[in-house]
Amino acid sequence: MITIKKLFLTGVFSTLLSITATAQKKDTYTHKIDSIITASSPIQFNGVVLVAQKGKVQYLKTNGYRNFEKKIPLKADDQFEIMSNSKQITAVLILQAAEQGKLNLHTPIKKYLPSLTQTWADTVTIHHLLNHTHGITDKEKPSVFKAGSQFKYGNLSYMMLGEILKNTTGKSFTELANSLFKKLKMNYTFVYNTKNKQSPVPGYMNENNQFEIVKESFLNDNIVPAAGIISTVQDLAKWDQALFKGKLLSPEFQKQMLTPSTSSQHNVFGKESMGFGYNVRFIKEAGLDYYAVTGLGDGFTCLNVYFPSTDTTLIILENQMPENREYWSFKEAAIKNAVLKAITTQ
């Protein structure tokens, strides 16, 4: 006969085993990430790394400088330009406007941008702008391919989405985005503006581990819906919890956001093309499905990965960008692989 005491002791033992196993997995990627961010070869890491599980921070470390000239070290709550990660926020704002009936994802954009003169304005839809299948390279020139037939990543479509938001909601992208950040208590996140008094870290170009500051940012009021959000690793972890837990969109529009509608390749995730939606990458790697978004430019490198099977977020923000294309997102890929390996061997 199994006694209550035996059952209790068995339960305690099982719990201890589970806690020990979790700690061992965490130690596995902790030590691995430590070694990646402190190694200067083949390229130096200069940024912040956060790993959170079930909304709780498991790993948070910085390496390098906020200011190379004055040797001022980075802090965990420093604010970085997140580059193309900004597009995911714009996509959510568009879908929220669609929920409210202010626009339709499958209506030609001529309705929302009546000043457009090219014929593609009568066939390209908001859906095509969201997933980069529009074929537009210049507002004043013919498209380079039929809408929906190919994928070509760029900033122009999300700049146009910013205009559409203003024309359909009566509010600027900055107003809409900053209001959303306030609701989510992303207190250190804001839209770039030359008049902002906040002080994000400067970006640096890296050539052979020699760092040169980017003196003039390419950010301006027009490009902010594509690349102009300033944020921290902690705030982006909050964003992931809100987005992937269905707190930003209704089930209908959540499904549209998180359903691949075209495909794209990115070296951080391998050589094969994988699913791509409304600025969300759908990755299948080592038998695991997960979501990701990347950013690069202006002296910054960014990565946001969410593993739904374990409710794990990985955020990497660097204020350096390699001159050598071979090393673009090099450390980001290595860190992602370390976390992926820890998850898939559990």
Give the CATH number of domain 42-344: 3.40.710.10
What is the pLDDT, as a whole number, of residue 13? 46
222 pLDDT exceeds 80?
yes
* Entry pTM: 0.92
Percentage of the residues of the chain whose pLDDT score is greater than 70:
92
Give the model's confidence band at 194: pLDDT under 50 very low, under 70 low, under 90 confident, else very high: confident
What integer is the mean pLDDT of 127-155? 97
Of 121 and 22, which is predicted with more confidence?
Answer: 121
Query: What would the pLDDT profile of 283-308 be if each residue is shown by its tens digit?
Result: 999 999 999 999 999 999 999 999 99
248 pLDDT exceeds 90?
yes
Give the model's confidence band at 175: pLDDT under 50 very low, under 70 low, under 90 confident, else very high: very high
- 241 token code pair: 């919890």
Q: Which residue's entry shows tokens 């604010």? A: 79
Q: Find out whether 25 and 342 touch, Cβ atoms under 8 Å.
A: yes
Beta bridge partners of 312: 53, 307
117 pLDDT exceeds 70?
yes
Of 115 and 195, which is predicted with more confidence?
Answer: 115
152 pLDDT exceeds 70?
yes
- 277 token code pair: 């939606």
Q: Where are the beta strands (DSSP E) in the chain?
A: 47-53, 56-63, 65-67, 72-73, 80-81, 190-191, 204-207, 210-213, 229-231, 262-264, 274-276, 281-285, 288-297, 300-307, 312-318, 320-322
Give the model's confidence band at 3: pLDDT under 50 very low, under 70 low, under 90 confident, else very high: low
Residue 125 Cα to chain centre, angstroms: 24
What is the pLDDT, as a whole number, of residue 195? 79
What integer is the mean pLDDT of 317-334? 97
Q: Which helix (H) or strand (E) holds 162?
A: helix 156-169
Q: Which amino acid does the sequence have at 346?
A: Q
Inter-CA distances, 300 with 53, 85, 150, 228, 334, Å: 25, 11, 28, 12, 17
Give the model's confidence band at 17: pLDDT under 50 very low, under 70 low, under 90 confident, else very high: very low
What integer is the mean pLDDT of 50-68? 97
What integer is the mean pLDDT of 93-115? 98
Nearest one of 129, 120, 58, 122 to 93, comparing CA atoms: 129
What is the chain's mean pLDDT, rounded? 93
SS3 317: strand
Domain range summary for the chain, segments of one domain joined by +: 42-344
What integer is the mean pLDDT of 163-191? 98
Of 12 and 203, which is predicted with more confidence?
Answer: 203
Positive or negative CA dihedral for 272, 277, 278, 284?
negative
- 187 token code pair: 């207190």
What integer is the mean pLDDT of 188-198? 85
Nearest one of 38, 43, 83, 49 to 330, comparing CA atoms: 43
What integer is the mean pLDDT of 42-53? 97
Residue 283 Cα to chain centre, angstroms: 14
